[in-house]
Structure 1
Amino acid sequence: MLVTRLRQITESELPGIICVLSGRASGGFPSPAADHYEPPISLDELVELRAPHVWLAEAEGDSMAPAGILTGTKLIIDRARTPHVGNVVVAYIDNQPVVKRLDKSLEGGWVLSSDNPNYPPIEGRENIEVFGVVTWSLTPHVP
């Protein structure tokens, strides 16, 4: 899965306050307890968009589709987090940014795996550079 438009977020792109639905959205019957007030939340505070180490990218491809990352999904990337095995990361392979799940090889180097089994893992390369950890993904559901 490739990454397109990797960049920091500009001040003009930061959202304001978002109204919150009380409770949770139910797939069954509405809850009678949902009549109480929920204070609004700030999307930029929730995902730390104002932090200088947080970047935004757009995904392209289907290698991470089982993780809910599809073409057009916006990725929130935290460059200050230490990457750990199992994290979804943005990494550079031969100067090309990709979105993969991080793993370690038996020899101790990085392995980048796709959640889609149709794509083989990328391993045995010395030129894998982890750019940051994907902390949030935002997928549009309308064209």
Structure 2
Amino acid sequence: MMLALSPRPVDEPTVLMLQASPIAVACGFPSPAQDYYDGPIDLTEMLVDDQEATFIVRASGHSMTEAGISDGDELLVDRSKRPRDGDVVVAVLDGQLTIKRLQISAGRVTLKSESAEHPDVAVPELSELVIWGVATFSIHHLRRP
């Protein structure tokens, strides 16, 4: 999975007239007794820990579909977070950008695909690997423009 667009910073807060805090919404028959709040919310406040270190990138390809990341989805990527085993990361391996799940085991690093059709990448010792950032959220499009 490669990046299709240059990352762009999360700059101004996005304010929408939605729920003030996330609520659970049933996918079945809606309850007419449900209380709704229609005040403004700030998505940046809800989703971003470090605004200056957070970028939006667009995923391209199908190697991360089992992680819930589809072709064309946008990812919030935080460059201030220290990558941990199991994180979905934007990695630069020998100059090539990719989105993969980071696996660190017994001193070895593997960039794991989340699709049986795409191979994992065992990072060779002499390769240059830079973790560009840690993906914190995926924005999955239900309606394409």
Range into which the TM-score falls when normalised by the shorter chain: 0.7 to 0.9
Any idea what SS the aligned residue of 1:35 has? coil
1:112: which partner in 2?
Answer: 111
User: Is residue 54–residue 77 contact of structure 1 (8 Å, CA) maintained in 2?
Assistant: yes
**If the length of structure 2 is used for normalisation, what is the TM-score?**
0.84
> For residues 1-143 of structure 1, what are the structure 2 equivalents within 5 Å?
1-9=1-9, 11=11, 14-20=13-19, 23-37=23-37, 39-48=39-48, 51-106=51-106, 108-125=107-124, 126-143=127-144
**If the length of structure 1 is used for normalisation, what is the TM-score?**
0.85
Shift of 1:84: 0.7
Q: Residue 18 of structure 2 aligns to which amino acid in structure 1?
A: C
Shift of 1:23: 3.8
**Unaligned 5+ runs, structure 1:** none
Alpha-carbon RMSD: 2.3
Deviations 1:40-66 (A, max 9, x none): 321111122871111110000000001
TM-aligned CA distance change 1:101 to 1:10, over 3 Å: closer
* Distance across 2 between alignment mates of 1:119 and 1:33: 47
* Distance across 1 between alignment mates of 2:10 and 2:85: 31
* Distance across 2 between alignment mates of 1:84 and 1:49: 17
**Unaligned 5+ runs, structure 2:** none
Identical-pair percentage: 31
Shift of 1:32: 4.4
Aligned length: 141
